[in-house]
Amino acid sequence: MTRFIDIHQHSAFDMDDGADDFEHSKRMLRASAADNVGCVFATSHMTPGITPFDYEKYYSAINEMNAFCLSENLPLTVCPGCEVLYTDMTRRFLEEQRIIPLGSSRSVLVEFGQDKSFDYIFDALRRVAAAGYRPVLAHAERYLCLLNKPESVIELKEEIRALIQLNTGAVLRKRSLFSSWDRKEKRFIKFMLDNRIADFVATDAHNTSSRKTRMKECYDFLSEQYGAEYSALLTGGNIGLLSD
Ligand SMILES: [Fe+2]
Protein backbone atom coordinates (compact mmCIF):
# COMPACT_ATOMS: atom_id res chain seq x y z
CA MET A 1 0.00 0.00 0.00
CA THR A 2 1.25 3.49 -0.86
CA ARG A 3 2.23 5.45 2.22
CA PHE A 4 -0.15 8.22 3.23
CA ILE A 5 0.48 11.97 3.33
CA ASP A 6 -0.73 13.80 6.42
CA ILE A 7 -1.09 17.49 5.55
CA HIS A 8 -2.11 18.69 9.02
CA GLN A 9 -0.47 17.87 12.32
CA HIS A 10 1.33 19.48 15.23
CA SER A 11 4.50 17.46 15.67
CA ALA A 12 7.01 20.35 15.51
CA PHE A 13 8.16 20.62 19.11
CA ASP A 14 7.77 23.57 21.44
CA MET A 15 5.84 25.62 18.90
CA ASP A 16 2.20 25.31 19.90
CA ASP A 17 -0.19 23.00 21.77
CA GLY A 18 1.21 19.94 19.95
CA ALA A 19 4.51 18.20 20.80
CA ASP A 20 6.00 19.98 23.81
CA ASP A 21 9.56 18.73 23.44
CA PHE A 22 11.75 16.79 21.02
CA GLU A 23 11.08 13.47 22.77
CA HIS A 24 7.35 13.99 22.32
CA SER A 25 7.93 14.90 18.70
CA LYS A 26 9.95 11.70 18.19
CA ARG A 27 7.08 9.62 19.61
CA MET A 28 4.67 11.31 17.20
CA LEU A 29 6.97 10.67 14.22
CA ARG A 30 7.39 7.01 15.16
CA ALA A 31 3.58 6.75 15.48
CA SER A 32 3.08 8.34 12.04
CA ALA A 33 5.57 5.98 10.42
CA ALA A 34 3.85 3.01 12.10
CA ASP A 35 0.52 4.38 10.81
CA ASN A 36 1.80 3.99 7.21
CA VAL A 37 2.37 7.73 6.78
CA GLY A 38 5.30 8.59 4.49
CA CYS A 39 5.11 12.38 4.70
CA VAL A 40 3.83 14.74 7.38
CA PHE A 41 3.39 18.47 7.15
CA ALA A 42 4.25 19.93 10.55
CA THR A 43 1.58 22.63 10.57
CA SER A 44 2.24 24.65 13.71
CA HIS A 45 -0.33 27.26 14.68
CA MET A 46 0.28 30.78 13.40
CA THR A 47 -1.86 33.82 14.26
CA PRO A 48 -0.66 36.76 12.14
CA GLY A 49 -0.29 40.04 13.98
CA ILE A 50 -1.36 38.51 17.30
CA THR A 51 1.10 35.80 18.34
CA PRO A 52 4.78 36.06 17.36
CA PHE A 53 6.08 33.09 15.37
CA ASP A 54 9.68 31.98 15.86
CA TYR A 55 10.70 31.01 12.30
CA GLU A 56 14.26 30.07 13.22
CA LYS A 57 13.11 27.75 15.99
CA TYR A 58 10.49 26.23 13.70
CA TYR A 59 12.87 25.44 10.82
CA SER A 60 15.48 24.13 13.20
CA ALA A 61 12.84 21.76 14.67
CA ILE A 62 11.95 20.55 11.15
CA ASN A 63 15.63 19.87 10.41
CA GLU A 64 16.10 17.98 13.68
CA MET A 65 12.95 15.95 13.04
CA ASN A 66 14.10 14.94 9.56
CA ALA A 67 17.55 14.06 10.90
CA PHE A 68 15.84 11.89 13.53
CA CYS A 69 13.78 10.08 10.84
CA LEU A 70 16.99 9.35 8.92
CA SER A 71 18.86 8.17 11.99
CA GLU A 72 16.03 5.77 12.91
CA ASN A 73 15.47 4.69 9.31
CA LEU A 74 11.85 5.81 9.51
CA PRO A 75 10.32 5.95 6.01
CA LEU A 76 9.02 9.42 6.78
CA THR A 77 9.71 12.96 5.60
CA VAL A 78 8.71 16.07 7.54
CA CYS A 79 7.64 19.01 5.37
CA PRO A 80 7.13 22.56 6.55
CA GLY A 81 3.76 24.28 6.79
CA CYS A 82 1.58 26.06 9.29
CA GLU A 83 -2.06 26.32 10.26
CA VAL A 84 -3.01 29.97 9.97
CA LEU A 85 -5.79 31.27 12.16
CA TYR A 86 -7.19 33.94 9.86
CA THR A 87 -6.80 37.50 11.16
CA ASP A 88 -6.96 40.98 9.64
CA MET A 89 -3.18 40.77 9.16
CA THR A 90 -3.21 37.50 7.22
CA ARG A 91 -3.30 38.97 3.73
CA ARG A 92 -0.41 41.32 4.50
CA PHE A 93 1.60 38.45 5.99
CA LEU A 94 0.92 36.38 2.86
CA GLU A 95 2.04 39.19 0.60
CA GLU A 96 5.21 39.58 2.66
CA GLN A 97 5.77 35.79 2.45
CA ARG A 98 5.72 35.48 6.23
CA ILE A 99 3.23 32.61 6.19
CA ILE A 100 4.68 29.15 5.67
CA PRO A 101 2.89 27.39 2.80
CA LEU A 102 2.44 23.63 2.62
CA GLY A 103 5.83 22.33 1.46
CA SER A 104 7.01 23.94 -1.76
CA SER A 105 3.47 24.71 -2.91
CA ARG A 106 1.51 27.97 -2.96
CA SER A 107 -1.25 26.47 -0.78
CA VAL A 108 -1.84 27.42 2.84
CA LEU A 109 -3.82 25.69 5.56
CA VAL A 110 -6.32 28.17 7.02
CA GLU A 111 -8.59 27.88 10.06
CA PHE A 112 -11.25 30.06 11.68
CA GLY A 113 -13.10 30.33 14.93
CA GLN A 114 -15.97 27.88 14.75
CA ASP A 115 -18.67 30.53 15.01
CA LYS A 116 -17.51 32.70 12.08
CA SER A 117 -20.20 33.40 9.48
CA PHE A 118 -20.13 32.02 5.97
CA ASP A 119 -19.64 35.52 4.56
CA TYR A 120 -16.59 36.03 6.79
CA ILE A 121 -15.03 32.72 5.74
CA PHE A 122 -15.81 33.30 2.06
CA ASP A 123 -14.30 36.78 2.13
CA ALA A 124 -11.22 35.65 4.05
CA LEU A 125 -10.49 32.77 1.68
CA ARG A 126 -11.02 35.11 -1.27
CA ARG A 127 -8.36 37.41 0.18
CA VAL A 128 -5.97 34.48 0.60
CA ALA A 129 -6.51 33.60 -3.08
CA ALA A 130 -6.06 37.25 -4.08
CA ALA A 131 -2.67 37.24 -2.35
CA GLY A 132 -1.65 34.41 -4.72
CA TYR A 133 -2.22 31.39 -2.49
CA ARG A 134 -4.63 28.48 -2.74
CA PRO A 135 -6.46 28.11 0.58
CA VAL A 136 -6.96 24.73 2.21
CA LEU A 137 -9.80 24.96 4.72
CA ALA A 138 -8.65 23.13 7.85
CA HIS A 139 -11.12 20.75 9.54
CA ALA A 140 -14.10 21.99 7.50
CA GLU A 141 -16.44 20.03 9.80
CA ARG A 142 -15.74 22.45 12.64
CA TYR A 143 -17.67 25.53 11.45
CA LEU A 144 -21.29 25.96 12.46
CA CYS A 145 -22.26 27.95 9.34
CA LEU A 146 -21.08 25.07 7.14
CA LEU A 147 -22.72 22.42 9.31
CA ASN A 148 -26.00 24.29 8.93
CA LYS A 149 -25.63 24.48 5.15
CA PRO A 150 -23.19 21.85 3.83
CA GLU A 151 -23.86 22.74 0.19
CA SER A 152 -22.32 26.20 0.75
CA VAL A 153 -18.88 24.51 0.67
CA ILE A 154 -19.40 24.04 -3.06
CA GLU A 155 -19.31 27.84 -3.40
CA LEU A 156 -15.91 27.95 -1.67
CA LYS A 157 -14.60 25.34 -4.05
CA GLU A 158 -16.07 26.71 -7.26
CA GLU A 159 -15.55 30.41 -6.71
CA ILE A 160 -12.27 30.43 -4.75
CA ARG A 161 -10.76 27.02 -5.64
CA ALA A 162 -10.50 26.32 -1.93
CA LEU A 163 -9.44 22.80 -0.98
CA ILE A 164 -11.33 21.02 1.77
CA GLN A 165 -9.71 19.06 4.60
CA LEU A 166 -11.56 16.90 7.13
CA ASN A 167 -10.04 15.56 10.36
CA THR A 168 -9.65 11.79 10.60
CA GLY A 169 -10.88 11.92 14.20
CA ALA A 170 -14.13 13.56 13.07
CA VAL A 171 -14.64 11.07 10.23
CA LEU A 172 -14.20 8.19 12.68
CA ARG A 173 -15.97 9.73 15.69
CA LYS A 174 -18.69 7.78 17.47
CA ARG A 175 -21.50 10.28 17.89
CA SER A 176 -24.34 10.74 20.27
CA LEU A 177 -27.82 10.58 18.73
CA PHE A 178 -28.91 13.13 21.29
CA SER A 179 -26.44 15.88 20.41
CA SER A 180 -27.62 18.21 17.66
CA TRP A 181 -24.00 19.21 16.92
CA ASP A 182 -23.09 15.54 16.45
CA ARG A 183 -26.04 14.96 14.11
CA LYS A 184 -25.13 18.01 12.02
CA GLU A 185 -21.45 17.07 11.90
CA LYS A 186 -22.30 13.54 10.80
CA ARG A 187 -24.61 14.85 8.06
CA PHE A 188 -21.95 17.35 6.94
CA ILE A 189 -19.17 14.77 6.68
CA LYS A 190 -21.45 12.37 4.82
CA PHE A 191 -22.35 15.15 2.37
CA MET A 192 -18.66 16.02 1.83
CA LEU A 193 -17.77 12.38 1.14
CA ASP A 194 -20.89 11.24 -0.75
CA ASN A 195 -20.43 14.11 -3.19
CA ARG A 196 -16.61 13.83 -3.37
CA ILE A 197 -16.28 17.42 -2.12
CA ALA A 198 -13.57 16.72 0.47
CA ASP A 199 -10.02 16.77 -0.93
CA PHE A 200 -8.00 15.59 2.08
CA VAL A 201 -8.38 13.81 5.37
CA ALA A 202 -5.60 14.62 7.83
CA THR A 203 -4.96 13.78 11.45
CA ASP A 204 -4.51 17.19 13.10
CA ALA A 205 -2.54 15.05 15.57
CA HIS A 206 -1.32 16.90 18.66
CA ASN A 207 0.04 13.95 20.64
CA THR A 208 0.09 10.15 20.76
CA SER A 209 -2.94 9.69 23.00
CA SER A 210 -6.10 11.83 22.89
CA ARG A 211 -5.38 13.40 19.48
CA LYS A 212 -3.20 10.87 17.74
CA THR A 213 -2.51 9.83 14.15
CA ARG A 214 -5.33 7.65 12.72
CA MET A 215 -4.65 7.63 8.99
CA LYS A 216 -4.73 3.85 8.48
CA GLU A 217 -7.93 3.43 10.46
CA CYS A 218 -9.54 6.28 8.52
CA TYR A 219 -8.33 4.92 5.17
CA ASP A 220 -9.81 1.50 5.99
CA PHE A 221 -13.13 3.05 6.99
CA LEU A 222 -13.28 5.27 3.89
CA SER A 223 -12.23 2.44 1.64
CA GLU A 224 -15.09 0.30 2.87
CA GLN A 225 -17.65 3.09 2.60
CA TYR A 226 -16.48 5.00 -0.48
CA GLY A 227 -14.10 2.69 -2.34
CA ALA A 228 -10.33 2.42 -2.58
CA GLU A 229 -9.91 5.07 -5.27
CA TYR A 230 -11.43 8.04 -3.41
CA SER A 231 -9.84 6.89 -0.15
CA ALA A 232 -6.42 6.90 -1.77
CA LEU A 233 -7.02 10.43 -3.09
CA LEU A 234 -8.11 11.68 0.34
CA THR A 235 -5.11 10.21 2.15
CA GLY A 236 -2.42 11.61 -0.14
CA GLY A 237 -3.32 10.99 -3.77
CA ASN A 238 -4.65 14.53 -4.10
CA ILE A 239 -1.36 16.11 -3.01
CA GLY A 240 -0.80 17.50 -6.52
CA LEU A 241 -3.80 19.80 -5.99
CA LEU A 242 -1.65 21.89 -3.62
CA SER A 243 0.48 22.94 -6.57
CA ASP A 244 -2.37 23.17 -9.07
FE1 LIG B 1 -4.61 21.87 13.71
Question: pLDDT of 112-171, one tens digit each?
Answer: 999 999 999 999 999 999 999 999 999 999 999 999 999 999 999 999 999 999 999 999
Average pLDDT, the chain: 97
Q: CA 149 to CA 131: how far, in whole Å?
A: 27
Mean pLDDT of 209-217: 96
| 44 alpha carbon – ligand 1 mean position (Å) | 7
Predicted pLDDT at 177 = 75
| 200 alpha carbon – ligand 1 mean position (Å) | 14
| 142 alpha carbon – ligand 1 mean position (Å) | 11
| 57 alpha carbon – ligand 1 mean position (Å) | 19
Strands 200-202 and 134-137: unpaired
| Angle of helix 152-160 versus helix 118-130 axis, rounded to 10 | 10
| 77 alpha carbon – ligand 1 mean position (Å) | 19
| 121 alpha carbon – ligand 1 mean position (Å) | 17
Coil, helix or strand at residue 97: coil
| 155 alpha carbon – ligand 1 mean position (Å) | 23
| 43 alpha carbon – ligand 1 mean position (Å) | 7
| 51 alpha carbon – ligand 1 mean position (Å) | 16
| 7 alpha carbon – ligand 1 mean position (Å) | 10
Measured in whole angstroms, the distance separating CA 155 from the mean position of its chain's CA atoms is 20
Q: CA 135 to CA 232: how far, in whole Å?
A: 21
Q: What is the pTM of this model?
A: 0.97
CATH of span 4-243: 3.20.20.140
User: Closest Cα to residue 6, out of 184, 128, 168?
Assistant: 168
pLDDT band for position 176 (cuts 50, 70, 90) = confident
Predicted pLDDT at 72 = 97
| 16 alpha carbon – ligand 1 mean position (Å) | 10
Contacts of 125 (CB under 8 A, 6+ apart): 110, 135, 137, 156, 160, 162
